């Protein structure tokens, strides 16, 4: 009557292998002498950080460096909990986040590492738009915008429905775009097709003859055959400017270009010397990493200032909690870094130039 | 004869109707298979060119040509071990309690209702729970253990329900005969019910593992790494998993990374196929033992 199954034969072998593997996993806990360097944060900055991380890994095979991309805000949350040593951000730290950092006793160094542009695009067959002004963009995208047809934007545009595509509120691109064009983070009409990824937005507009979209510039460059790039006129006398490596880097493509940052935890640098050597490597080769990630690097001299800021352990934010800051050109960035680096700023006249928002 | 003339069989019409329905049902089946076939063909044509030893044994880098998925393969495998180690005792235990011990009544019905509902909760919600409880409250960090436990919660209801069904399908006579011969409840469970329900339980466990291995949202929330140059050495170590890399690579702007994602999907599907195959083999093995 012994017909009931028992663990014999190959299933038994399979199970014991699984158990053994489990045991190895459990008992492997002893050897964690090398500390791990953890990098997280913005998904926009991630490709740059990944280039830095893998390059560093290749040169230092024994170092343990990992990178994730939780997003700017979630990344800061982990950073304040001391879980990560370096966090990427596609906008400067916000005031509420500064307060939380202070409560958590986290001191950080803020380092700009490159530029990213936001592109405005339409379907390639669209032949009537080539340039839009910031106020036109604002009229199209702002909350409760009445624009329903292309002709509502400018006289002479056809009486055709306009369909809008863009990133959803989870992204730094959304934060920056709404701030730059509509004057306030999160101010945007509610009837546009919001996607979680740039690729989905690209897919949307490249298949819709009446579409218009905003997303990261590198996504335009990779899909330029299926898209039409729209120049932007910021109405400050520079006329229509198309986003290119050059116009983004020299600051003429504004307001839709923004610097990207990494934040380094000062306590981590003391606990784990690997963090210092990793960040040094990151800044020293930043031009290469930024290019590899298809963003736009600063000039070499700017990275010298960034490196100085890191070596001087200049803590705190040069934006003092303003969050997404519009119209930060390379000169502004250098001014801010220099002002912030100075041992004791004498008065407020030396502080950074006005960063009044464009738009309504 | 009168009767016969009053009845209009319309046999031809009914037969045609029957054939039509059968055809429609066949089409419905084929549609599902067609979608699967399209997916496989699409993924294999895009991704198979990237499958290489370097891809399978290397580490993810910033360049598609040098990127590999080794830590993700190991990570996914370890995750499955954590999920199996926690869901089997918890899931089978719950099923045994509900089917063999719990009194019929309000409490049991409430538990049952909750388990059924939990099975339908979206995985992001489990991810948020995992982040709040395992990562933050229990301070496990973004570790293999935190992610494994989160995935365990996600599939636990499936394991419970399938184990319950396996137990329920055992004829009541088996229990009664054993009791009649003086067996205690735990003897009945250990000597009769578990062995008889084993094929069903195994199938449920392995199917739920296949579900867990493909989940992305909970891992994203728990904070799995994407660039990593080691495989996890212990339960609280950093890790990555196959769906994480697939998810990241589909978000990249360049076409090469998307092809790389397809290659990773092939590996993930091979993983799934292997698990389902072992589910079938295990079930057949135990069924043979029962009947043989």
Using CA coordinates, name the residue in chain B closest to A28.
B234
Would residue A8 count as lying in a domain? no
Domain end (from A249, A270, A301) = A249
* pLDDT at A11 (0 to 100): 54
Q: How confident is the model at residue B6 (pLDDT cuts 50, 70, 90)?
A: low
Would residue A130 count as lying in a domain? yes
Please tell me the pTM assigned to this model: 0.79
Please answer yes or no on whether B227 and A54 come within 8 Å at the CB atom: yes
DSSP A326-343: TT--HHHHHHHHHHHHSS
CA distance to B22, B53, B267, per residue, from B80 (Å) = 40, 23, 15
Each of the 360 residues of chain A gets a pLDDT tens digit; together they read 444 445 455 555 555 555 555 555 554 444 445 789 999 998 889 999 999 999 999 899 889 999 998 888 889 988 999 989 999 998 888 889 999 999 999 999 999 999 988 999 999 999 899 999 999 999 999 998 889 999 999 888 999 999 999 988 877 788 889 988 998 888 999 889 988 888 889 999 999 999 999 998 988 988 889 999 999 998 888 889 999 888 888 888 888 988 899 999 999 999 999 999 999 999 999 999 999 888 999 888 889 999 999 999 988 888 877 777 777 777 777 788 777 655 444 443 333 444 444 333
Nearest-CA distance from A172 to chain B in Å? 15
* pLDDT at A3 (0 to 100): 47
* pLDDT at A352 (0 to 100): 41
CATH among 2.40.420.20, 1.10.357.10, 1.10.3720.10, 3.40.1190.20 for B53-291:
1.10.3720.10
Mean pLDDT of all residues in B73-84 = 92
Mean pLDDT of all residues in B249-261 = 86
* pLDDT at B240 (0 to 100): 93
In total, how many domains does chain A have?
Answer: 2
* pLDDT at A356 (0 to 100): 42
Please answer yes or no on whether A68 and B61 come within 8 Å at the CB atom: no
Give the 3-state secondary structure of residue B9. coil
Residues of B in contact with A54 (CB under 8 A): 59-62, 227, 229
CATH of the domain at A41: 3.40.190.10
Would residue A275 count as lying in a domain? yes
Nearest-CA distance from B118 to chain A in Å? 26
- Residue of A29, A54, A195, A206 to mutate for B, most B C-beta atoms under 10 A: A54
**Enclosing H/E stretch for B129:** helix B123-130
Which two tokens mark B270?
């091979």
Please answer yes or no on whether A31 and B278 come within 8 Å at the CB atom: no
Please answer yes or no on whether B226 and A216 come within 8 Å at the CB atom: no
**Enclosing H/E stretch for A104:** helix A95-104
Strands A131-133 and A228-233, sheet pairing: parallel
- Reference B162, options B219, B216, B95; nearest CA is B95
Nearest-CA distance from A57 to chain B in Å? 7
Cβ neighbours for A331, distance < 8 A, ≥ 6 positions apart: A251
Residues A199 and A270 placed together within one structural domain of the fold: no
Could you say which DSSP state residue A167 is in?
E
CB B43 within 8 A of CB B266: yes
Which two tokens mark A43?
């998904």
A68–chain B Cβ distance below 8 A for any pair: yes
Tokens 């939380």 belong to: A100
Give the 3-state secondary structure of residue A353. coil
Which two tokens mark B27?
């089409």
Please answer yes or no on whether A221 and B226 come within 8 Å at the CB atom: no
Please answer yes or no on whether A5 and B198 come within 8 Å at the CB atom: yes
- Reference A35, options A84, A104, A99, A102; nearest CA is A84
- Reference A329, options A117, A154, A160, A120; nearest CA is A117
Indicate if the pLDDT at residue B82 is higher than 90: yes
Using CA coordinates, name the residue in chain A closest to B84.
A18
Please answer yes or no on whether A67 and B78 come within 8 Å at the CB atom: no
Would residue A60 count as lying in a domain? yes
Residues A132 and A187 placed together within one structural domain of the fold: yes
Going A70 to A75 to A79 to A80, the CA torsion angle's sign is negative
CA distance B206 to B229: 29
Q: How confident is the model at residue B3 (pLDDT cuts 50, 70, 90)?
A: low
Which A residues in the span 250-279 are in contact with B, Cβ-Cβ below 8 Å?
none
What interface predicted TM-score (ipTM) does this complex get? 0.78
* pLDDT at B42 (0 to 100): 92
Least trusted range by pLDDT, from A11-20, B73-82, B125-134, B253-262: A11-20
Residues of B in contact with A31 (CB under 8 A): 233
* List of long-range contacts for A351-357, beta carbons under 8 Å, 24+ apart: A352/A318, A355/A322, A355/A325, A355/A326, A355/A327, A355/A328, A357/A179, A357/A180, A357/A183, A357/A326
Could you say which DSSP state residue A207 is in?
T
Mean pLDDT of chain B, nearest integer: 89
CA distance A327 to B13: 76
> Residue B85: which of A22, A197, A222 has the nearest Cβ?
A22
Using CA coordinates, name the residue in chain A closest to B144.
A25
Residues A326 and A308 placed together within one structural domain of the fold: yes
Mean pLDDT of all residues in B74-82 = 92
Indicate if the pLDDT at residue B71 is higher than 60: yes
Indicate if the pLDDT at residue B144 is higher than 60: yes
Domain end (from A214, A249, A284) = A249
Would residue A17 count as lying in a domain? no
* pLDDT at B181 (0 to 100): 93
Please answer yes or no on whether B233 and A81 come within 8 Å at the CB atom: no
Nearest-CA distance from B22 to chain A in Å? 38
Domain end (from A249, A273, A304) = A249
Q: What is the dihedral of CA B156, B157, B161, B167, to 10 degrees?
A: 40
Would residue A133 count as lying in a domain? yes
* pLDDT at B2 (0 to 100): 52
Please give the interface size between A and B, counted as residue pairs whose CB atoms are below 8 Å apart: 128
Task: Read off the pLDDT of residues A7-44 as tens digits, 9 standing for 90 and up.
Answer: 455 555 555 555 555 555 554 444 445 789 999 998 88
Q: Which domain holds residue A185?
A: 121-249
Please answer yes or no on whether A40 and B223 come within 8 Å at the CB atom: yes
- Reference A319, options A76, A77, A94; nearest CA is A94
Compute and round to an integer the Cα radius of gyration of chain A: 24
Nearest-CA distance from B207 to chain A in Å? 17
Please answer yes or no on whether A5 and B290 come within 8 Å at the CB atom: yes
> Residue B223: which of A14, A25, A68 has the nearest Cβ?
A68
Residues of A in contact with B86 (CB under 8 A): none
CB A84 within 8 A of CB A254: no
Please answer yes or no on whether A67 and B142 come within 8 Å at the CB atom: no
A54–chain B Cβ distance below 8 A for any pair: yes
Angle at A319 between CA A317 and CA A323, to 5 degrees: 105
Mean pLDDT of all residues in B132-160 = 91
Tokens 């918890």 belong to: B90
* pLDDT at A341 (0 to 100): 58
* pLDDT at A25 (0 to 100): 53
Please answer yes or no on whether A36 and B235 come within 8 Å at the CB atom: no
Nearest-CA distance from A271 to chain B in Å? 18
Residues A126 and A244 placed together within one structural domain of the fold: yes
Please answer yes or no on whether B223 and A294 come within 8 Å at the CB atom: no
Would residue A6 count as lying in a domain? no
Please answer yes or no on whether A3 and B290 come within 8 Å at the CB atom: yes
- Residue of B70, B250, B251, B257 to mutate for A, most A C-beta atoms under 10 A: B251
Residues of B in contact with A219 (CB under 8 A): 253
**Enclosing H/E stretch for A215:** strand A211-216
Nearest-CA distance from A9 to chain B in Å? 10
Residues A245 and A136 placed together within one structural domain of the fold: yes
Nearest-CA distance from A342 to chain B in Å? 36
Residues of B in contact with A296 (CB under 8 A): none
Residues of A in contact with B220 (CB under 8 A): 70
Nearest-CA distance from B108 to chain A in Å? 30
Angle at A310 between CA A304 and CA A315, to 5 degrees: 135
> Residue B225: which of A4, A57, A67 has the nearest Cβ?
A67
Rounded percentage of chain B residues whose pLDDT exceeds 90: 50
- Reference A34, options A2, A66, A75; nearest CA is A66
Q: What are the beta bridge partners of residue A133?
A: A233
Using CA coordinates, name the residue in chain B closest to A290.
B62
């Amino acid at each position: 009557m012994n017909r009931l199954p028992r663990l014999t034969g190959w299933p038994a072998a399979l199970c014991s292998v699984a158990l053994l593997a489990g045991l190895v996993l459990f008992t492997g806990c002893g050897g964690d002498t090398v500390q791990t360097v953890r990098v997280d944060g913005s998904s926009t900055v991630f490709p740059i950080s990944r280039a830095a991380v893998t390059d560093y890994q290749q040169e230092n095979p024994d170092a343990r460096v990992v990178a994730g991309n939780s997003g700017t805000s979630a990344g800061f949350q982990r950073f304040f909990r001391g879980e990560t040593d370096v966090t990427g951000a596609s906008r400067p730290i916000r005031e509420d986040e500064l307060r939380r950092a202070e409560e958590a006793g986290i001191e950080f160094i803020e380092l700009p590492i490159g530029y990213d542009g936001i592109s405005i695009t339409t379907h390639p067959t669209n032949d009537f738009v080539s340039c839009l002004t910031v106020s036109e963009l604002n009229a199209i995208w702002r909350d409760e915008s009445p624009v329903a047809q292309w002709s509502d934007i400018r006289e002479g545009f056809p009486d055709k429905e306009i369909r809008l595509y863009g990133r959803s509120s989870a992204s730094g691109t959304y934060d920056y775009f709404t701030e730059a064009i509509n004057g306030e983070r999160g101010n945007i009409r509610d009837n546009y097709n919001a996607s979680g990824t740039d690729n989905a937005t690209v897919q949307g507009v490249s298949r819709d003859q009446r579409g218009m979209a905003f997303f990261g510039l590198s996504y335009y460059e990779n899909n330029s055959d299926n898209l039409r790039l729209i120049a932007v006129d910021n109405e400050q006398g520079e006329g229509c400017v198309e986003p290119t490596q050059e116009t983004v880097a020299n600051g003429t493509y504004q307001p839709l270009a923004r610097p990207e940052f990494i934040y380094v935890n000062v306590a981590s640098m003391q606990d784990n010397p690997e963090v210092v050597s990793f960040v040094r490597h990151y800044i020293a080769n930043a031009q290469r990493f930024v290019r590899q990630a298809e963003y736009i690097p600063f000039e070499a001299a700017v990275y010298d200032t960034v490196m100085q800021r890191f070596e001087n352990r200049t803590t705190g934010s040069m934006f003092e909690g303003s969050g997404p800051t519009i119209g930060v050109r390379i000169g502004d960035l250098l001014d801010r870094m220099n002002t912030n680096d100075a041992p004791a700023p004498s008065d407020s006249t030396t502080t950074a130039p006005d960063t009044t928002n464009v738009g309504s | 004869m009168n009767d016969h003339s009053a009845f209009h069989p319309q046999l031809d019409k009914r037969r045609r109707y029957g054939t039509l329905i059968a055809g429609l049902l066949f089409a419905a089946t084929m549609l599902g298979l067609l979608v699967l076939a399209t997916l496989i063909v699409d993924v294999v044509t895009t991704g198979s060119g990237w499958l290489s030893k370097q891809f399978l044994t290397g580490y993810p880098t910033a360049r598609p040509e040098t990127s590999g998925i080794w830590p993700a393969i190991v990570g996914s495998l370890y995750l499955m071990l954590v999920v199996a180690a926690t869901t089997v005792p918890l899931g089978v235990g719950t099923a045994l309690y509900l089917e063999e011990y719990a009194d019929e009544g309000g409490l049991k019905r409430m538990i049952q209702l909750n388990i059924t509902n939990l099975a339908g909760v979206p995985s992001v919600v489990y991810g948020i729970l995992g982040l709040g409880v395992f990562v933050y409250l229990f301070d496990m960090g973004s570790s293999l253990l935190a992610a494994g436990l989160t995935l365990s919660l996600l599939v636990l209801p499936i394991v419970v329900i399938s184990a319950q069904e396996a137990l329920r399908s055992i004829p009541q006579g088996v229990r009664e005969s054993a009791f009649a011969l003086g067996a205690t409840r735990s003897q009945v469970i250990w000597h009769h019910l578990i062995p008889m329900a084993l094929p069903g339980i195994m199938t449920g466990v392995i199917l739920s593992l296949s579900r867990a291995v493909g989940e992305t949202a909970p891992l994203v929330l728990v904070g799995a790494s994407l660039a990593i140059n080691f495989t996890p050495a212990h339960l609280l170590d950093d890790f990555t998993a196959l769906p994480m890399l697939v998810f990241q690579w589909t978000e990249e702007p360049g076409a090469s990374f998307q092809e790389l994602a397809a290659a990773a999907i092939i590996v993930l599907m091979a993983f799934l196929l292997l698990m389902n195959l072992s589910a079938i083999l295990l079930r057949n093995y135990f069924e043979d033992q029962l009947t043989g």
